Each structure stands twice: as C-alpha cells, then as structure tokens.
Amino acid sequence: MTGPGRLVRRWAGWLAYAVFAIVALMVHWHPDLPRFSSASGPGKALVWVVLAGFLAYSVVCSLREPIAPSLAAMARTWWGRQVGIDLYLGLGLFLVLVQLHLGDAWLTLAWALPVLLFANLATLLYVAIHYESLLTWLGG
C-alpha cells in the first residue's frame, strides 16, 4: 500500500504509544517524578535518557523499514524465534514484577497490553516512572 494508508499504518503505532505514555504519566504522576536531585537522581536520569534514546532509535527504524516484514523474516529463522520467545518470556516476568510492585491486578492488566505491544519501550517507561519506589521496594 502506498500513499496516505501507508503513512497512517506507519504512524498509528507511534500515536498509540504516545497516548499510552501520556496516560501512564497521568495515572502514575507523583511529585518526585520530575526531580533528579536526590541520591538516586543520576540513575533515574540514566533510565530517562535510555528510554529517550531507545524511543528515538525505534522511530528511526520504523522510518527506514516497516516492522511486519522484518518480524516475518526473523520468524523464519531459529534464532529469530528464540529471540522472540526470550523477549516475551522476559516481558511476562516483568509483568509479574509489576504485579508484585503495584499489588493491583487492574493496574497490572492496564500495563500488560502496552508491555506486550511496545515491549521495552513500555518497560523502560514503567521503570522511569516508578524509579524511586522500585529502589525502595527492592531494598536499595
């Protein structure tokens, strides 16, 4: 498909991610979110920088090559399937940690679809938003 249909398909996922990120920030907003001056500030800043860099690189990749044909090509190889299984096992484990951290099945379910669709773009956003509470929860 060429023309506007192709453009809409290419940017629909990014629009969905933007909406997800805005809603996640609104739902999980807390006063320490924009602060980087505490002892954990450098680590928190690093997570935000990694998220921004990975997001930028992902957008560039989507401009250079559509994701569906790339995934289809990867799925035809043993290592491509292994990487896909590894990714989704890790995402499942991450969702278990989200449930343990938040303790709210509905919020975990609300994170599940974005995590399964956007993978580490969603997990990095979760870690960035909850950085301080994750450190406390993990005993750091």
Percentage of the chain beyond pLDDT 70 is: 94
8 vs 101, higher pLDDT? 101
Q: How many CA atoms lie within 13 A of 48 on its CB side?
A: 15
What is the total count of domains within the chain?
Answer: 1
pLDDT digits (tens, 9 = 90+) for 90-109: 999 999 999 999 999 999 99
Residue among 132, 117, 133 nearest 21 (CA): 117
- Are 13 and 62 spatial neighbours (Cβ–Cβ below 8 Å)? yes
Is 140 a residue whose pLDDT tops 80?
A: no
- Give the pLDDT score at 1: 52
Domain span at residue 40 reads 4-137
Condensed to tens digits (0 to 9), the pLDDT of residues 27-69 reads 999 998 999 988 999 999 999 999 999 999 999 999 898 888 9
- Per-residue model confidence as pLDDT tens digits over 114-127: 999 999 999 999 99
Q: What is the mean pLDDT of the chain?
A: 92
> Residue 2's pLDDT is what?
58
